[in-house]
């Protein structure tokens, strides 16, 4: 046997178990992993008293019933693979402490939680697998068994396949060549040795039998991840580049090789979690064209080498012209958020949803410079300061780079924060272009921001150029909601409001609200529609002395159907309605005129009112109200003396 090949076999024989490209033995499917991360996200919001392992098992069981064709791993340990793919960042050894990354949120926005729709994020799957680094600190053996492995394995595999294709015409390797020769390569610079080993193995095929003795030692899961790449075709015997993908792979290899300093691992974990691809790293953009020109200026045909993928000029592509600024306002529970979901967006529309509040700031909204702990391949740590985008900047970039998809920025409770301060200079972008000026047109489509602003951090993140002027693209809509009853929060001045299409959400039951409208309140004979409309009529008729009494009405969706339906022997459930609705009437709508609706002679405190409601059976629950109100709710004939009383009131 050839001496060089024998040396490689001896090296494999003496190697430690799993001294190769390696992933933990868990599911590598992005579908499974994204559902796992979604459950982790929900767990961090409300664990329901369970540990993470049981929490995930519970939700996987539920998903099996709802979507029997979707397979999701039940073990929370699969989250380790999610960390390899940049869907989460491990801050400690506990998965419960992991941070959800921008990459996962990007997938979540595109799919609206239907992670089996991989067609909506194929590019992200490819981007994240290509970004995998062997071996980073995510790998528990990166300082021991795999301490000498420092490479992007997909790029090494691409390089080997491209070089073999150029020399033999076959852009392929066998699975044995991958397992024992390629996947045991420790650095990208060793690709020539790997190519030599493959050449020698093909000349001495009997050596394959010797290699087979190492199958268990080098049985790795990375190939399962590679199977999700559209740039590779993998079966039990062979790995190859499909013909229609050869040019794409060649271009990527060219960019990678011409800019080795761009692919440093100093800030790898932050890079992995980001929405950047391996070919969008800062330092390669300016140097690529120069290195290409100098490398191939000497009588070399440009057709003989792969081109660098051109940067798309998103300022001059076809783009949807649908962007609006819309502010939905009305009483609490009128259905503002419901209207957004039903009338403005489709399920698949990408969106960022946030809620303004008194402590919400411009930095939260647009972005800010934050410290980031970086770790190099040797385990050394240092701190750098990087721009971290807020939801406005994130959706701005997504909309800019996906011009034929409508995106939404949804701001709930917009007047509960200091909106002019939160928007800052973004305020200028809210003016939309509504007509084409034949003589002085700027070339941007209708519904784009009419005026631009400058912000170096945002521009660099969105456009890759800190000098690029910022505009809201015509395929990004901003929708805000505002409760008109919130008198004690920030007001929106005229200059701010004029930049929005204002829409009042009428407080009335609609045709598709029949289930809610017709549901009776617990064990009473009164439906929610009867109660809601009756009380609202009283608010309008009786509370003329109140400022903005119209805004104190009960919203038709102030309460949910489940809050109205009785549950036997469950006091907690019986409290839902009085704690939400009755308390609101006592503490807010009729705070200064309680005698107009409540029987204050017998029930002079909220505690007594709620206790009476809970303890009573059927329609006796309404004894907390005055006789007039009770008769209105129950539809009884009001006695003359009661009518007189009503007139006096």
The more confident residue out of 404 and 201 is 201
Question: pLDDT band at residue 305, thresholds of 50, 70 and 90?
Answer: very low
Buried b (16+ CB within 10 A) or exposed e, 308-334: beeeeeebeeebbeebebbbbbbbbbb
DSSP E strands, 110-244: 172-174, 233-234, 238-240
Question: pLDDT band at residue 259, thresholds of 50, 70 and 90?
Answer: low
Report if pTM > 0.85. no
**If DSSP states are collapsed to H, E and C, what string results for 396-431?**
HHHHHHCCCCCEEEEEECHHHCCHHHHHHHHHHHHC
Q: Please answer whether residues 268 and 136 qualify as being in contact, where contact means their C-beta atoms are separated by less than 8 angstroms.
A: yes
pLDDT at 640: 41
The more confident residue out of 412 and 490 is 412
Question: pLDDT band at residue 485, thresholds of 50, 70 and 90?
Answer: low
Report the percentage of the chain scoring pLDDT > 90. Answer: 52
The more confident residue out of 254 and 474 is 474
pLDDT at 486: 56
pLDDT in tens, 393-417: 999 999 998 888 899 999 999 988 9
Pairing mode, strands 476-483 and 172-174? unpaired
Q: Please answer whether residues 559 and 528 qualify as being in contact, where contact means their C-beta atoms are separated by less than 8 angstroms.
A: yes
pLDDT at 423: 93
Beta-bridge partner residues of 329: 482, 504
pLDDT in tens, 27-83: 899 999 999 999 999 998 888 888 999 999 999 999 999 999 999 999 999 999 999
Q: Please answer whether residues 472 and 448 qualify as being in contact, where contact means their C-beta atoms are separated by less than 8 angstroms.
A: yes
pLDDT at 312: 65
Question: pLDDT band at residue 218, thresholds of 50, 70 and 90?
Answer: confident
Average pLDDT value for residue range 201-223 = 87
pLDDT value at 113 more than 60? yes
Least trusted range by pLDDT, from 89-93, 410-414, 598-602:
89-93
Q: Please answer whether residues 390 and 450 qualify as being in contact, where contact means their C-beta atoms are separated by less than 8 angstroms.
A: no
Least trusted range by pLDDT, from 57-71, 181-195, 314-328, 533-547:
533-547
Q: What kind and span of H or E run contains 371?
A: strand 367-375
Q: Please answer whether residues 8 and 197 qualify as being in contact, where contact means their C-beta atoms are separated by less than 8 angstroms.
A: yes
pLDDT at 459: 94
Cα(504)–Cα(550) distance, integer angstroms: 13
The fold adopted by the segment(s) 325-504 is: Rossmann fold (3.40.50)
Q: Please answer whether residues 591 and 598 qualify as being in contact, where contact means their C-beta atoms are separated by less than 8 angstroms.
A: no
Rg over alpha carbons for the chain, rounded to the nearest Å, is 32
Q: What angle do CA 153, 159, 162 make, to 5 degrees?
A: 140
pLDDT at 376: 59
| Cα–Cα distances in angstroms (integers) from residue 482 to residues 154, 442, 495, in the given order | 49, 34, 17
Helix extents (H) in 67-131: 79-84, 102-111, 122-130
Query: Which residues, 6+ apart, have CB-to-CB distance to 134 below 8 Å?
Result: 21, 22, 146, 149, 150, 151, 152, 153, 222
pLDDT in tens, 278-304: 876 443 334 333 433 444 333 333 233
pLDDT in tens, 162-183: 999 999 989 999 999 999 999 9
């Amino acid at each position: 046997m050839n001496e060089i090949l024998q040396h490689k076999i001896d090296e494999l024989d003496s190697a430690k178990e799993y001294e190769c490209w390696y992933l933990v033995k868990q599911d590598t499917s992005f579908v499974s992993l994204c559902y796992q991360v979604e459950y982790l996200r929900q767990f961090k919001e409300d664990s329901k008293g369970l540990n993470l392992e049981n929490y995930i098992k519970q939700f996987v069981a539920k998903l099996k019933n709802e979507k029997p064709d979707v397979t999701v791993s039940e073990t929370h340990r699969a989250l380790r693979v999610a960390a390899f793919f940049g869907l989460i960042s491990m801050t400690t050894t506990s998965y419960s402490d992991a941070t959800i990354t921008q990459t996962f949120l990007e997938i979540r926005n595109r799919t609206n939680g239907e992670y089996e729709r991989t067609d909506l994020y194929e590019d992200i799957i490819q981007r994240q697998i290509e970004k995998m680094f062997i071996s980073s600190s995510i790998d528990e053996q990166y300082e021991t068994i795999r301490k000498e492995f420092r490479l992007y394995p997909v790029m090494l595999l691409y390089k080997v396949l491209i070089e073999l294709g150029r020399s033999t015409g076959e852009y392929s390797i066998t699975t044995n060549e991958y397992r024992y020769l390629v996947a045991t390569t420790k650095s990208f610079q060793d690709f020539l040795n790997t190519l030599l080993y493959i050449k020698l193995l093909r000349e001495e095929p009997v050596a394959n039998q010797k290699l087979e003795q190492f199958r268990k030692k080098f049985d790795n899961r990375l190939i399962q991840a590679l199977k999700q790449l559209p740039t590779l075709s993998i079966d039990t015997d062979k790995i190859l580049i499909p013909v229609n993908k050869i040019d794409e792979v060649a271009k990527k290899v060219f960019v990678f090789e011409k800019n080795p300093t761009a692919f440093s691992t100093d800030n790898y974990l932050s890079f992995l979690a980001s929405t950047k691809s391996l070919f969008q790293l800062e330092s390669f953009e300016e140097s690529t064209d120069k290195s290409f020109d100098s490398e191939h200026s000497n009588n070399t045909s440009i057709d003989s080498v792969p081109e660098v993928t051109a940067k798309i000029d998103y300022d001059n592509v076809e783009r949807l012209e649908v962007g609006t600024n819309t502010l939905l306002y009305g009483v609490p529970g009128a259905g503002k958020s419901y209207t957004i979901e039903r009338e403005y967006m489709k399920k698949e529309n990408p969106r960022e949803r946030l809620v303004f509040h008194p402590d919400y700031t411009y930095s939260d909204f647009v972005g800010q410079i934050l410290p980031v702990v970086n770790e190099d391949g040797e385990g050394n740590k240092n701190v750098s300061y990087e721009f971290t985008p807020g939801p406005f900047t994130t959706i701005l970039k997504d909309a800019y780079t996906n011009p034929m998809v409508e995106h939404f920025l949804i701001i709930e409770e917009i007047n509960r924060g200091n909106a002019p301060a939160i928007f800052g200079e973004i305020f200028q972008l809210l003016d939309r272009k509504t007509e084409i000026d034949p003589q002085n047109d700027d070339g941007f489509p209708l519904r784009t921001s009419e005026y631009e602003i400058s912000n170096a951090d945002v521009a660099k993140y969105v456009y890759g150029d800190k000098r690029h002027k910022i505009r809201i693209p015509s395929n990004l809509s901003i929708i805000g909601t505002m409760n008109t009853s919130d008198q004690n929060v920030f007001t929106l001045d005229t200059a701010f409001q004029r930049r929005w299409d204002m829409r009042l959400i009428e407080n009335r039951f609609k045709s598709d609200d029949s289930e809610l409208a017709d549901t009776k309140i617990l064990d009473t004979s009164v439906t929610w529609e009867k109660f809601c409309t009756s009380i609202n009529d009283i608010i309008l008729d009786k509370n003329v002395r109140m400022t903005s009494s119209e805004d104190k009405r009960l919203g038709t969706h102030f309460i949910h159907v489940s809050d109205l339906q009785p549950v036997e022997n469950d006091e907690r459930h019986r409290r839902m309605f009085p704690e939400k609705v009755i308390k609101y009437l006592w503490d807010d709508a009729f705070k200064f005129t309680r005698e107009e609706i409540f029987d204050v002679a017998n029930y002079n405190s909220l505690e007594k009112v709620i206790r009476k409601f809970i303890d009573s059976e059927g329609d006796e629950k309404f004894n907390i109200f005055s006789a007039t109100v009770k008769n209105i709710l129950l539809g009884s004939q009001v006695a003359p003396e009661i009518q007189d009383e009503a007139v006096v009131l």
